Structure 1
């Protein structure tokens, strides 16, 4: 079985499940987006991309300022919710 980070579709599913859990636990969308931003920063700085999609996200993250990174984190949440 591949890890969550090795398969982008699995990553979107995993992220969607975590967003659902956070909402069920009473977190606001602002709080969820803040966590997604911090997680994106961690992944960009500490995790080697495992597939082309992750490489693109890392490159976009590194080319962006904080506002754009927060927007990218929001877009990932939206993508995960749409495909989940």
Structure 2
């Protein structure tokens, strides 16, 4: 996936998807749940393409489910509120 090659591009991609979901009326809780599902998929099925993704995968893999959900929520906040 080309968007994974650069972490800033990945954050911009996520930012656009979060904005799109909010525009369609999805609330932050549902967006965070989707982010959790995406994070789990990426950690299990996609090889990290840069050092940031390696770090996120390592953190994800050592976290329990509750911590992973917190990480997913933080990613949503990072790409939306942190811009």
TM-score relative to the length of structure 1? 0.95
State the 1:44 CA deviation.
0.1
Partners of 1:50 and 1:74 in 2: how far apart? Answer: 22
Partners of 1:22 and 1:69 in 2: how far apart? Answer: 21
RMSD over aligned Cα atoms: 1.1
Q: Which residue of 2 aligns with 1:79?
A: 78
State the 1:35 CA deviation.
0.2
Q: Which residue of 1 aligns with 2:56?
A: 57
User: Which stretches of structure 1, 4 residues or more, deviate above 6 A after TM superposition?
Assistant: none
Q: Which residue of 2 aligns with 1:39?
A: 38
Unaligned runs of 5+ in 1: none
Q: Which residue of 2 aligns with 1:7?
A: 6
Give the SS at the match of 2:67. helix
How many residues align? The count is 82
State the 1:3 CA deviation.
1.4
State the 1:79 CA deviation.
0.9
